[in-house]
Chains A and B, each alone.
Chain A
Amino acid sequence: KTRLDKLCLLNQKVNVQPHAAYALMQVKCNENGKARYRSTYRPFIESFEETPMLVAVLTYMGYGILTIFGYLRDFMREWKIEKCHIAREREEQKDFVPLYQDFENFYTRNLYMRIRDSWNRPIYSVPGATFDLVERSSNDYNWTFEYTGRVVKDVINLGSYNYLGFAENTGACATAAGEVTVKFGVGMASTRQEMGNLKRHEELEKLVASFLGVESAMAFGMGFATNSMNIPALAGKGCLILSDELNHASLVLGARLSGSTIRVFKHNNMQSLEKLLRDAIVHGQPRTHRPWKKILILVEGIYSMEGSIIRLPEVIALKKKYKAYLYLDEAHSIGALGPYGRGVVEYFGLDAKDVDVMMGTFTKSFGAAGGYIAGRKDLIDYLRTHSHSAIYATSMPLPVVEQIITSMKCIMGKDGTTIGRSRIQRLAENTVYFRRRLREMGFIIYGNNDSPVVPMMLYMPAKIGAFGREMLKRNIGVVVVGFPATPIIESRARFCISAAHTKEMLDRALDVISEVGDLLQLKYSRHKVLPSLDRPFDETTYEENEE
């Protein structure tokens, strides 16, 4: 208990010293030939290096040139000088109001289409540490693809959200899911409230609650819908939702469907959040000045495009001070953070009871599908009766439920092995190693040191496609992202580190990234990297034996 107490104390001081939260970290060390875990605290380090001025100017110029050429080509298409590949409206419906505004698809037609091959690459195997890709080629500049019939084998997978490596087709999870498939089939053909509530669903929910350390939980069939179909049950007219500017589309949609007033605070910026909270309570609702019914803060654990971790201790302090409610979306952080994989709450050594609504998905760390909401019993009881998902959506298929139960038990060590524990450890090590090496190479890396989502800045639009293609040529699958998923000049590549990656794979990937980085001149960073310390910040390090 002392470990947690001490950490809680540390994190409570956050009020006094903003920007100093402490994360709990466990380091494996060998002592007398025996593996031991050592608990340490480390400061919370996040960096978002500024875009170099020259790069920013060149990026804007790049978009400018693309836009000019876009207009030129649209003009040529209009006059039938250039062949037009765009699907057309039916002749019978030519006189209808156009389905799309012309400018709506300008970006798709003239920018996205040039590099379309970097996305939607079909895969042909398990999305594990390596995967096989279906080879495709295009003879008309990406307007259509042809499948060559060949398969690109053993591509290192830096794209899937397979944090703990549970995307497997062998092993305990796949076996259990297979048995259930044969016995139960895959469909459910009914909703939870009607005839689709199986015993196994309820067992899953109990397990999720005990994993997270809360009273009760409820599981839903789709992660996206968990947000968009449950937030409306929690907030409504006269309520205020404070949402981080970089929140996922599902949170935004849920907030919008709820009918509440939505205000947006700057990403992970506590001053901005506090100002909104103060103003909201002091001024009340717009025009009528009635007090707000309730205030709900929506945040994510790890932001999947920035790689940043929410400043949870500060958010909880603010939430308590202003009597707001906190909705924490742990889509990317559950399983991937914390010494026992219990997400961002455990990462900071906080109490799960301080978070009112714990939401997360099973898609990522558990290698399954769906999402959950966990919290106090009265919250879950209310959702059982009022969640849109429980009443109108088909319940979760059983093989998926089985995959979650087996993988979660593995993470909790309930299967009698230490597989789960060592995977969490491995992921943490891989993350720190990979991020450190990239920074040393001189790339600009965004986000928190402990976040397994590693965004690497590309900036210029031409480099988005080039980086994706050059990496694939060298048998590495990466995700590249540009506008509108990111701000217009902040195009990036995103690596997702997995516990399934071996050191050799990471080293190979890093060598290739460095090579392509030199080729495309991506090493923008002007920060000097200090020689890395093998041991983390150890002022408060103390030893603790486990196992």
Chain B
Amino acid sequence: NPEVSYFFFFFKHSKREIKMRKLDSTKLRPLKSEQLLRIEDHDFALRPGFGGSPIPVGIDVQVESIDSISEVDMDFTMTLYLRHYWKDERLSFRSNKNRSMTFDGRLIKKIWVPDVFFVHSKRSFIHDTTVENIMLRVYPDGNVLFSLRITVSAMCFMDFSRFPLDTQNCSLELESYAYNEDDLMLYWKHGNKSLSTDEHISLSQFFIEEFSASSGLAFYSSTGWYNRLFINFALRRHIFFFVLQSYFPAMLMVMLSWVSFWIDRRAVPARVSLGITTVLTMSTIMTGVSASMPQVSYIKAVDVYLWISFLFVFLSVIEYAAVNYLTTVEERKQLKKRGKASGTYSIDAVQAMAFDGCFHDTDVDMDLSFSDRCEENETRARAASIPNVDTTRMKRKRSLKGNVGRIILQNNHVIDTYSRIIFPSVYIVFNFFYWGLYI
């Protein structure tokens, strides 16, 4: 049968070709990596030393950057080079020089690699531009160096009771997911020097105090003890931004509210609007601070400062209300007293002004019954005061006797005078306490 014979001929040829091809490839250098590393025999589902003693895996970390710290989410984002070192006999190969061989990252799909994960991480990814950022380097004796570039966002519990004069301690934790202490021993390759950082790692808002590496054991009730490695770092917040943004404006607002004590107490609209506008500005500053903060259930250091400043500003408004009220009360008392004494008495034109809002150009005698028409009052007052001013003085002396009101009126001046000293000094004392306590 010709077809059968041709078939046989074909097979003989192809076999020879295949055999020749095999012969050729074993002779050729460079060898295929898979043949070099005997990948077909390598079962990547089994760890090295399977069934035997735990395999030690060394870890080395180089932190490239800390991208951001978020107070609202209470997490941090870090980019790092994570390197694993372990020994896998199955990957050893013959070599005259002791040089390691670097392979393409896609080879890791075919060999066993440790399954390290980041405990308490929220999001993480291996960078994959232009190809997966993975390095695989195998030494002739089977030692493997496996390196990855990873960005991870991990949780950090933050305590804001001293915000913004606070220091946060955060840590990134590495652990094997499947293999517990009996199968895989995770350790820092060079002890405390395993952790290195890029030379210009810096954050805008924080000062990175120290990076340290530590290790511990973690127990899971269902699965056993695992080795856990910690990357700890402490961040100290720069106070300058908050001084400029919150403390300084608050201080200025408090000082502005003190200006009110120096303005004449008869200028009612001025003092009230000064007080109220400073309260409004303080309120705006406080809202601005809490916009970028998590809603915690305790009071923060900046809250303490802003609320006490707010209290000072508030008290200056209350102080002026008291001054104004006492002035009015005094007027009424004096009027009543005059009524009892059944005589006219002269009061200072100023007091008369505060009382009925009309202009008086001299000290006038006020009647109990006063009308809206200031001219009437004026004429009546003028008629009464036609005797010259000497009597005014005598009248004043007369009315002064036993008249406590006038003294209290003088004392309203006193409230302002005392406030001018008390408010600033108490505020300065508060500042001493505050900064002494928190710094």
Q: Tell me, yes or no, whether A binds B.
A: no
